[in-house]
Amino acid sequence: MRLPELAAALNMPASDLPDVEVRGVTHNAAWVEPGFAFVAICGARFDGHTFIPDAAAKGAVAVLGEGLAGDAPSPLPYLTVPNARAALADAAAALAGNPSRSLRVVGVTGTDGKTTTSWLTRHLLRTAGLRTGLLSTVGYELPDGELRHFPAHFTTPEAPQVQATLREMVEAGGEAVVLEASSHALALDRVRGVDWDVAVWTHLSQEHLDFHGTVENYFADKRRLVERAPFAVLNVDDPWTAQLRGLAPQETTYSAENQHADWRATGIEERATGLHFHVTSPLGEFGAHLPMIGRFNVANALAGMAAAAHLGATLPQLVDGLASFRGVPGRMELVPGGEADPRVIVDFAHTPPSLEKALTTLRATTAGRLWVLLGSAGGPRDPGKRAPLGEVATRLADYAVFTEEDHRDTPLEDILREMERGAREGGGENFTSIGDRREAIRFVIREAQPGDTVLLAGKGPEDTLERDTEVIPWNEVEEARAALALRA
């Protein structure tokens, strides 16, 4: 795309701009390649304008920003835009050829349940015959079904990476995509250039207040997805849903508890083979089987079915799709063991509500003792949830092991002390703290007995562990396998 064409796509004046080729766009000077446009974003810590010389030295051909300070000249053509982050997203979409317009796009947001619902919806759409891709916190898949991960320096996909991935899906013959939309992605316009077809709302609870400030701000940022989609799938069991009704031109509702929803479940049973329940829906009534642990996954299944049905999935396809779903890596994932081993589950639960759900679920299906291992993230990331995590763990499990979980630059001792305080204030003394996560996993799996259940919470499918300034490779399932092998 030529620079004047890009300016026109952004509704900016194109006169007096050099007719140069623009090959890409980024807001990080370190990622600039020859022919890129550089977006100078004024953030909380840095002003992107200070990196314009670096971008120019790496071959940038233009700068987009909200205005140069004073009389400081730019060595590159400068386009003044109303909002730099919005311009980054719009430019990325334009340069990628607006790939989402060639796809049926399902967006999923909420605090808990996003990832499971995203993976389940992707599976249901594939069962219905649509070549479907996936973009989630676990990774991304093209329609070929192979799970991929972004390079390490793209720890959170920005708008250019989102658009490039969508373009890759189109070129691979994709017809649909399910995109997990986090509050950060919505607030920072990382998914601004996406044309949504369906918005799925799972559930809202307190999280990321270090970024959003208040729960109300957190809700407002997530609400953007529903506001931008022509069709919404809403969870009527969530109190926040009342404020979402009517925002989308069309909507449907689901519930695992409320019998006034459009998609609703009754007769829920947890068996050795998974969840069995009866569904009443706009497509008719039917019996459903989902081979997963946890009654809360019934709601995720209803949401996925409602979204897939809107895109054309039939009732038989939904029934077959549910029964053949094999879960999500790191979400209530069972680690294979022997008859003399405890049952070991790896799950991403890292908030007090999600941990409570996981432990309550496992308690109902555990013959012996219930153990839990968990930590809490460091830095400014919701320090207020550390004590509640300790309280929930010791109240609902027979024994808790507190350990590290990406403590970053926060002293691990401070995090463990807060979790211990929450446990004690809740009346719990059934815990120990082991700072090294590998040692902690080996301890809890060694101490547990056959018939017991061990929940390894917090890391789930993440492939790194952030310890102080060090980022080390990590695989929770493999760590659990190694610990089980040591029992032998």
Residue 156 pLDDT > 70, yes or no?
no
Q: Which residue has the higher pLDDT, 217 or 132?
A: 132
Average confidence (pLDDT) over 162-173: 96
Report whether pLDDT(155) > 70: no
The Cα-based distances of 308 to 257, 288, 296, 311 in angstroms read 21, 15, 19, 5
Q: What is the pLDDT of residue 330?
A: 83
> Given this model, what pLDDT does residue 486 score?
96
The pLDDT of residue 16 is 85
According to DSSP, the residues that pair with 126 across neighbouring strands are: none
CB 310 within 8 A of CB 233: yes
pLDDT score of 454:
97
Residue 210 has pLDDT above 90, yes or no: no
Distance of alpha carbon 152 from alpha carbon 138, whole angstroms: 13
Which amino acid is it at 363?
A: R
Both tokens assigned to 389: 């995590």
Summarize the chain as % helix, strand, coil (round to 5).
35, 25, 40
pLDDT tens for residues 349-368? 989 988 998 999 899 888 89
pLDDT, one tens digit per residue, over 227-254 is 999 999 999 999 999 999 999 999 999 9
Give the DSSP H/E element, type plus range, for residue 184: helix 183-187
Right CATH number for 333-487 from 1.10.287.540, 3.40.50.300, 3.40.50.720, 3.90.190.20? 3.90.190.20
Cα angle, residue 227 at apex, residues 226 and 229 outer, rounded to 5°: 65
Residue 63, number of CB atoms within 10 A of its CB? 23
- DSSP structure class, residue 31: G
> What percent of the chain clears pLDDT 70, i.e. is strictly above it?
96
Give ∠ CA 129-134-135 in degrees, rounded to 5: 165
pLDDT of 382 > 80? The answer is no
Question: In terms of pLDDT, which residue wins out, 156 or 100?
Answer: 100
- For the chain, what is the mean pLDDT? 92
With 60 as the cut, is the pLDDT of residue 154 above it?
no
Alpha-carbon distance of 232 to 30, in angstroms, equals 39
Residue 400: pLDDT above 80?
yes
Range among 5-9, 64-68, 215-219 with highest mean pLDDT value = 5-9
Q: Which of 62-71, 430-439, 444-453 is the least confident region? A: 62-71
For residues 373 and 454, is the Cβ–Cβ distance under 8 A?
A: yes
- Please report the pLDDT score of residue 61 as a whole number: 97
**Is the predicted pLDDT of residue 450 greater than 80, yes or no?**
yes
In percent, how much of the chain has pLDDT > 90?
Answer: 73
Question: What's residue 215's pLDDT?
Answer: 85
pLDDT for the residue numbered 405: 93
Tens digits of residue pLDDT in 409-437: 899 999 999 999 999 999 999 999 999 99
Query: Quick one: pLDDT at residue 315?
Result: 97
What does the pLDDT read at residue 149?
A: 79
- Where do we find the tokens 């010389």? 53
Torsion 113-114-119-124 (CA) sign:
positive
Confidence tier at 45 by pLDDT (50, 70, 90): confident
3-95 topology per CATH: 3.40.1390
And the tokens for 91? Answer: 């430019």
pLDDT, position 195: 97
Residue spans of the domains in the chain: they are 3-95, 99-323, 333-487
Check if the beta carbon of residue 72 is closer than 8 Å to that of residue 96.
Answer: no
Does residue 377 or residue 133 have the better pLDDT?
133
pLDDT score of 431: 98
The CATH architecture assigned to 99-323 reads: 3-Layer(aba) Sandwich (3.40)
Classify residue 226 by burial, with Cβ atoms within 10 Å: 0-12, 13-18, 19+: buried
DSSP notation for 109-172: E-SSSHHHHHHHHHHHHHHTT--EEEEETTEEE-TT--EE---TT-SS--HHHHHHHHHHHHHT
152: pLDDT strictly greater than 60: no
Q: What is the mean pLDDT of residues 331-358?
A: 89
- pLDDT confidence band for 15 (50 / 70 / 90): confident
Q: What is residue 71's predicted lDDT score, i.e. its pLDDT?
A: 58
For residues 180 and 184, what is the distance between their CA atoms, to the nearest angstrom? 11
Torsion angle, CA of 188/176/475/292, rounded to 10 degrees?
Answer: 110
The band of 328, judged by pLDDT with boundaries at 50, 70 and 90, is confident
Transcribe 297-366 into DSSP letters: HHHHHHHHHHHHHHTT--HHHHHHHHHT---BTTBSEEEP--TTS-EEEEE---SHHHHHHHHHHHHHT-
- Find tokens 């998609």 and name the residue: 263
Task: Supply the DSSP symbol for 105.
Answer: E
By mean pLDDT, which of 80-84, 208-212, 275-279 is the weakest? 208-212
Confidence grade of residue 332 (pLDDT, cut at 50, 70, 90): confident
Q: Is the pLDDT of residue 281 over 90?
A: yes
Q: Is the pLDDT reported for residue 105 higher than 80? A: yes
Which residue numbers belong to the known binding site?
Answer: 110-116, 155-156, 182, 190
- How far out from the chain centre does Cα 416 lie? 26
Residue 355 makes CB contacts below 8 A (sequence gap 6+) with 349, 372, 374, 389, 392, 393, 396, 457
Asked, colleague to colleague, whether 3-95 and 333-487 share their fold, the answer is no
C-alpha triplet 357, 363, 369: angle, nearest 5°: 135
Count the neighbouring beta carbons within 10 Å of the beta carbon of residue 398. Answer: 16
Average pLDDT over residues 148-158: 70
Tens digit of each residue's pLDDT (9 = 90 or more) over 289-323: 998 888 889 999 999 999 999 999 999 999 999 99
CA 245, distance to chain mean position in Å, is 23
Look at residue 69 and tell me whether its pLDDT is greater than 80. Answer: no
Q: What is the mean pLDDT of residues 438-452?
A: 97
Q: What is the gyration radius of the CA atoms in the chain, in angstroms?
A: 24
Can you say which residues are annotated as belonging to the binding site for ATP?
Answer: 110-116
Kindly provide the b/e burial profile for residues 187-212, where b requires at least 16 CB atoms within 10 angstroms of the residue's own CB.
Answer: bbbbbbbbbbbbbbbbbbebbbbebb
